[in-house]
Chain A
């Protein structure tokens, strides 16, 4: 596909260009800022441009599924039909099924795979190890990329509590499997000694005292069963890392104009930069409208002067929104500076959650508007802005 011409690509946070030219777009940001919706809208826009697009969501609240009018998205792409020249596919990550598939793939044989899949420690790990969801999201991205079926893969990442989780996930899992503690446990098994050496025995005994003996034996069984598969995992982690830093991959940050979100997103942008990844797009979601052009303090002063008269509450209300808009404006400016973005796509807070394609199309108007304006004249969904 060729890039859209005749538009200033810098406008709207630079998203238009990404949608037409990249092969992977990763949406990152804190929870509750509408990341999933943005990811869906980016994929929808690509389909509208005639590309074959797939959106991978990892959000357990199934919000994207709702937005696409699908109640249950399986762990493989599901086609969403609509009036666009390209293709739109969607899938919801099933962490467990994805993990099972790689274990099966790297196992030396059926019996090794079965032993691992049945192990309680493995089950706990697949269901709850910190970072496992991030790892499997990248794993799924990697699979989709290998299949070569799509022009664009959009990934909706889990909320970045720890900004590094997503980038570091493959490395973290391999280091977990390569754990020093595990090596320590495995030492006797490796050397074929019948008797566990004394140091190991002491540690195991201490841990057993704390967490219970069966828990320890589950872990030992798991690590023994996993023996020999680390190399495959390590190699895959390395290739995943390459995909994330490839020039065809673009990271888009999604934030809300509040201080906490700005701090978190700014921190993440720093981490990306340190990893040699540049942020290619910035979306500020859920901004409040600004009415009029006056300073909040002037509006407030007016409200004070007119207090007790019928005009008082009208100015009080205006001052409330001006005050909020000023604070949001400060946060957006500081965010753009931190991220190093020339512009940001602003999406106003809408009066209801996005739960259908019409709602997504409305967001698209803000994300891909030639001149993204910071706010709508009113928040009613039936009156979208020009553009």
Chain B
């Protein structure tokens, strides 16, 4: 969507397991290096280990530190100061942001529970670590997270009971603990509305002068009833979400193909664009980073 609006986008994944590359028709997993997925869209992954190695290289630290880092040092240090792995990742993102690596950096954050500790890492480290490079890094990240013109969190959920509960809890915690600005909440996987599912297949076929195969009317009717029931349930969850979380909602349609392909990405981007256009107030211009929250 960013790319079709003419701005460059960099997608960052942090858990090394998203189907992002395959959705863009690539069979290779993303690596630490950037890759062009489509015109205007680059992507890469960032892991704490790789970010640390890069840091050590850039700061020409001794061979011994490097050796220790590969021998489990990071586990010990990250236990001594929890959140250090997260800050290595977020610190790298901040570096990319300041180097203007792209007009918009989109970070595919970890899922619900972990998203909170991930984004809280900067605050926790500032509280715990009183000096050193990590503290400076954490302060910089905190500054980025809490500046609404630099960073927004886009919450993503699906219209089901547990995901709705989780996103409501996460939103509350993000607002009060991380103090990050929230964008609209994206509700993914909604059945696209089809008008005319109430039509009785036998009757309308008769009117059109068509005869259905034996049993076909039942199949059509059962399928139509199923979808209508599902749509009602989804609507109930959307209403529940709206009541519990006073954020604008953007609805995205479910894609029946099960796995996303490039055409489906376009469909979703169009739906997102339409959703944004329909928002009560446009998002603040100049926000150059978006973090995507509890993903599904």
Contacts and interface: CB of A to CB of B under 8 A. Distances in A.
Interface stretch (B129-137, B177-185, B270-278, B281-289): B129-137
B65 A206 contact: yes
A185 to B, nearest CB: 9
Contact of B233 (A309, A315, A351): A351
A94 interface: no
Given A378-B222, A379-B229, A206 B62 contact: yes
B223 interface: yes
Nearest to A258: B258
Interface in A1-24: none
Contacts of A328: 258
What does DSSP make chain A's interface, helix, strand, loop or mixed?
A: helix
Interface stretch (A68-76, A214-222, A237-245): A214-222
A162 B77 CA distance: 21
Contacts of A213: 131-132
Given A212-B132, A257-B258, A327-B257, A313 B204 contact: no
B130 A313 contact: no
A217 B15 CA distance: 31
A309 B134 contact: no
A130 B110 CA distance: 15
A379 B80 contact: no
Contact of A212 (B62, B113, B135, B259): B135
Interface string B39-74: 000000000000000000000011011001001110
B111 interface: yes
A203 B68 contact: yes
A335 B63 CA distance: 45
A97 interface: no
A235 B137 CA distance: 41
A180 to B, nearest CB: 5
Given A314-B197, A379-B226, A215 B129 contact: yes
B71 A203 contact: no
A31 B111 contact: yes
Interface in B242-271: 256-259
B296 interface: yes
Nearest to A289: B226
A192 interface: no
Interface residues of A, number: 69
Given A128-B82, A214-B130, A292-B219, A311 B229 contact: no
Contacts of A324: 256-258
Given A63-B162, A199-B64, A219 B196 contact: no
A264 B219 CA distance: 34
B80 A211 contact: yes
A63 B197 CA distance: 35
B120 to A, nearest CB: 12
B81 A212 contact: yes
B258 A327 contact: yes
Which of the four size classes fits the interface of chain B? Answer: 35 or more
Contact of A291 (B64, B208, B226): B226
Nearest to B132: A212
Nearest to A179: B72
B166 interface: yes
A254 to B, nearest CB: 16
A351 B236 CA distance: 12
Contacts of B222: 291, 377-378
A317 B82 contact: no
Given A209-B132, A313-B196, A352 B161 contact: yes
Contacts of B75: 129-130, 176, 179
B140 interface: no
Nearest to A312: B196
Given A130-B75, A291-B222, A379-B230, A311 B258 contact: no
Contact of B19 (A60, A181, A216, A259): A259
Contacts of B224: 314, 317
Nearest to A210: B133
Interface stretch (A47-55, A119-127, A362-370): A119-127
A175 B162 CA distance: 37
Interface string B210-233: 100000100110111111011001
A379 B223 CA distance: 10
A211 B233 contact: no
Kindly name the residue among B76, B160, B161, B230 whose own CB sees the greatest number of chain A CB atoms within 10 A: B76
Contacts of A114: none
Nearest to A131: B75
A310 B196 contact: yes
A292 B216 contact: yes
Interface in A161-212: 161, 175-176, 179-182, 184, 199, 202-203, 206-212
Given A124-B80, A316-B194, 8 more contacts: A202-B62, A206-B61, A206-B62, A211-B129, A211-B133, A291-B219, A314-B220, A327-B257
8 contacts: A181-B73, A207-B77, A208-B132, A309-B208, A311-B208, A331-B258, A352-B233, A353-B161
Question: Nearest 10 CB-CB pairs, A to B?
Answer: A327-B258, A310-B204, A292-B219, A313-B196, A291-B223, A212-B129, A353-B161, A212-B132, A313-B194, A219-B80
